[in-house]
Structure 1
Amino acid sequence: MKNIKIILCFLAIVSCTKEPITVTTKDYHLLVDKLTEVMIHDIFSPPVASRIYAYPNIAAYQVLNNTNGNYASLSGKLNGLNISNSIVIDENTNKELAALIAYLDVAKELVFSKEKITTFRDSLYNNWEAKNNTEFNLAKKEALKVSSNIISWMNNDQYKETRTMPEFTVYSDDPSRWQPTPPAYMKGIEPHWNKIRTFVLDSAAQFKPIPPPKFSLEKGSDFYNELIDLYNLTNKITEKGNESEEVAIAQFWDCNPYVAVNKGHFMFASKKITPGAHWIGICKIATQKTNSDFNKTVFAYTKTSIAIADAFISCWDEKYRSNLIRPETLINKYIDENWNPLLQTPPFPEYTSGHSVVSGASSRVLTNIFGDNFQFDDTTEIPYGLPVRSYDSFNKAADEAAISRVYGGIHYNSAVVEGLTQGINVGNFVIDNLQLTK
């Protein structure tokens, strides 16, 4: 009988022993991928998507580094972010677990389909709590300290105010001004994005590019030469057929989150990732290839997403300043009414090229983190039916992303050349002014 009591007591002790919760980089990638999935479903524009990526990464990063982290705190380094000194993470906290919780807490505040995030979150919560409710509850309590602070800061970035600002006035007697393009003829999106608080930049206009070539349809003028060069180039690409390298490049970097498709009397959207999402995907590839630990993975995502967000603010500031008409409008009206660009023209002014700016900024930050001549296979577009493309460096990928917009017939050459320079300037500024490694 005595032996039976001892055995029962031992079994009771074992049954009360809680399994530690192990968190890996795979778990963090899963959260980022889930957020991307929800953004595709909700069809967020490229600028808005960049904001949605930035804040959850910042929250996760700050949990890891608010006190005694491997990297410096973001408090005082991002515009308007001042974390209270009273927010101290309990030293017994599973900080990696808390980082995931903070990420989810902020992410659910940024999307339309909040239930998709909360359902996903609750399934994770249930698993973590079942493994070790004490460890989970402490991590959750500490995570929400930081995430609530990040949400309060986030809610003061002027995003809500821009939702009620006037729509963009389209029509004008000025022939150089942007007009809506087929097939959906959508209004210009996010005309007030330059009013969003920047993360690191001093202002939206800090890296204001040189103006585009002066508008002129006179043969021999700089502007007309760019227009006719684009027309001739895209015709040559079309003659080569869909198997040409230029077509492959244009399609790979299309990254249009809302491609309008007509079928009979109906129009529907073919959903894809945004330019920012493509570079977030490249960040994931780089962290996986280098076997980056949890802290470096979150650091890389955070710094890259901040650069992407500031790049969009910088680019959109110029787009609605220069307010330049798209090639499709001019070619159809003055050169060839039957011409169509290879890619669907997105609904906002032409100059500068958003993908070029974002690619320039992202490539600089990723190069700073992972080094130059970083060879990688870009698998980002596989879910959308496109093959893998390989690059010898982030900078070469950015160069290709930029020229893809000319191949696609949606940008003049100046927009991609100056856009890439603009983005590189943004990226370099983020590198120089957001030094987080200790």
Structure 2
Amino acid sequence: MKYLYFPVAIILLISVNLGCGPAKVTPKLTSADITKVINQMMVGMLHDVTNPPLAARFFSYTCISGYEVLSKSDSKLQGLESVLNNYPKIRNPSVTGFDPRLSAVFAMIATASKLQPSGPAMKVFEQKLIDSCLNAGFSRGKIDSSLKYGQQISAQIMAYAKSDGYNKISNYKRYTLTGTPGSWDPTPPAYIAAVEPYFSTVRPLTLKASGQFVPAPPVPFSTDKGSAFYKYLLQCHSFDADSLSTDQRTIAAFWDCNPFAVQDNGHMQIGLKKISPGAHWMGITGIACKKAGASFERSMEVNTMVAISLMDGFIACWNEKYKTNRIRPETAIHQYMDPRWHSFLQTPPFPEYLSGHSFISSAAAGILTSFFGDNFTYTDDVEVAFGIPPRKFSSFNKAAEEAGYSRLLGGIHFQDGITNGKKQGELVGAWVLGKFNHNSKPPGAQ
């Protein structure tokens, strides 16, 4: 399996309709231009080693910024005041002569550049966008007005983002291990400390609270060979890395999405550049919008709803993870069954229950299915740059099911963490759809 160790360079080519003939046609941005911003954010996340919950937070506020611009110019888009918790009244900037689509992209870039540690790279991306716009036929005045409008909207969204409580997490006491039987412990090879143990304290975007949906409790920990937990141990043990078939390895690797993965190289450990689960589903969203021929406005709506479901999904999932504090299969198998066993995937640095990938995959799949239908065939090539071959899926739900199954094959989750994670994700996805008053539309609906 091949991995890239350095950020991937993305070439910005703005998608426009220039028309033909002597009559001058105003250029129009497409869904591809939204995807380019998302992709550039992914590059930054690889560089910054952004953890999965935080990546979802970045995507959500970035998309909200673009959506807010469009909603002020398009009455068909629902205002966010009725959707998001504690959402302020966003002042309409006194700027004229702007292009709403271009301004939406500028707003996304401005927000991402402030949220991400590698934000300065987004400013380089912005300049390339401006140059592309000039070459495509936008006037300097329209570009400047669009930039100004987008930045003023972004500033207001950033104020909303700063009020969600994430900046308080650094003041909380350091997470300490309980050391009780069946509780989570850091895993090899890097033994990374617990990631985002207080993420559930962040204000959800749409949920009433992080614990709004209460999942079934995990199977109780037990070393009794007749217990349900021990049966789960046996099941995971059967998926030893050396025993997987080629197809099973392909599935597990395809959905790995572990930004914390490292590789031993002599006396050194090298970090492998991988996107997060949420980034993978944002990539799938771009693929779906392009294939369906969705308009720029519809694509912004879809991207925003998916991003919101990711953030709320991680908040809810992390609430359960650190409440149950459940041991990972790798640790349990080594301690109570087989110290030589090893999983195909590296175990991420946080408790097992619920499966985060199962959770957010079904949440995102629910949003996408609502827009594009349950039989939407697409090819997922999001991770081709990482040496991961494309895979074809006949529906988003089937992709989400495979994502969950990959965690069992990879040896990093128990079956009930996967099954119940999927159920909770479906609840969050449906909740977000309900907040947007979104009714299912036929595949490719505009």
Tell me the TM-score normalised to structure 2 length. Answer: 0.89
- Of 426, 429, 437, 2:428 maps to 426
**CA shift at 1:126, angstroms?**
4.5
- Of 235, 243, 261, 1:229 maps to 235
* Cα shift readout 1:383-432 (whole Å, capped 9, x = no counterpart): 11111111111111111100110110000100000000010011111111
* Cα shift readout 1:316-351 (whole Å, capped 9, x = no counterpart): 000000000111111112211111111000000000
* 1:375–1:277 Cα change, 3 Å: same
Letter aligned with residue 322 of structure 1: T
Which segment drifts farther, 107-116 or 66-75? 66-75
Q: Does 1:217 align with 2:223?
A: yes
Report how many residues are paired: 416
1:120 — aligned with what? 125
Q: Distance in 2 between matches of 1:176 and 1:67?
A: 54
**CA shift at 1:129, angstroms?**
5.9
Q: Distance in 1 between matches of 2:387 and 2:182?
A: 37
Q: Distance in 1 between matches of 2:391 and 2:94?
A: 42
Letter aligned with residue 393 of structure 2: Y
Query: Alpha carbon RMSD of aligned pairs, Å?
Result: 2.0
> Unaligned regions of 5+ residues in structure 1, if any?
1-17
**CA shift at 1:22, angstroms?**
3.7
2:362 — aligned with what? 360
**CA shift at 1:69, angstroms?**
3.5
Q: Distance in 1 between matches of 2:32 and 2:257?
A: 25
Q: Distance in 2 between matches of 1:89 and 1:318?
A: 45
- Of 151, 161, 169, 2:176 maps to 169
1:50 — aligned with what? 56
Which segment drifts farther, 64-73 or 316-325? 64-73
Q: Distance in 1 between matches of 2:418 and 2:35?
A: 31
**CA shift at 1:289, angstroms?**
0.7
Conservation of the 8 A alpha-carbon contact between 1:326 and 1:411: yes
- Of 189, 192, 206, 1:186 maps to 192
Q: Does 1:305 align with 2:311?
A: no
Q: Distance in 1 between matches of 2:68 and 2:151?
A: 11
Q: Distance in 2 between matches of 1:151 and 1:117?
A: 16
2:154 — aligned with what? 147
> Unaligned regions of 5+ residues in structure 2, if any?
1-23, 440-445
Q: Does 1:320 align with 2:322?
A: yes
* Cα shift readout 1:77-114 (whole Å, capped 9, x = no counterpart): 20111224x42675742101100110111010111112
2:349 — aligned with what? 347
1:30 — aligned with what? 36
Q: Distance in 1 between matches of 2:54 and 2:243?
A: 37
Q: Does 1:40 align with 2:46?
A: yes
Letter aligned with residue 154 of structure 2: S
Q: Distance in 2 between matches of 1:268 and 1:64?
A: 42
**CA shift at 1:28, angstroms?**
1.9
Larger Rg: 1
SS of residue in 1 equivalent to 2:221:
coil
* 1:353–1:240 Cα change, 3 Å: closer
Letter aligned with residue 123 of structure 2: T
Q: Distance in 1 between matches of 2:213 and 2:147?
A: 40
Conservation of the 8 A alpha-carbon contact between 1:19 and 1:132: no
Letter aligned with residue 50 of structure 1: A
* Cα shift readout 1:138-193 (whole Å, capped 9, x = no counterpart): 21222223111101001111111112222211142x11110010000011100000
Which segment drifts farther, 64-73 or 317-326? 64-73
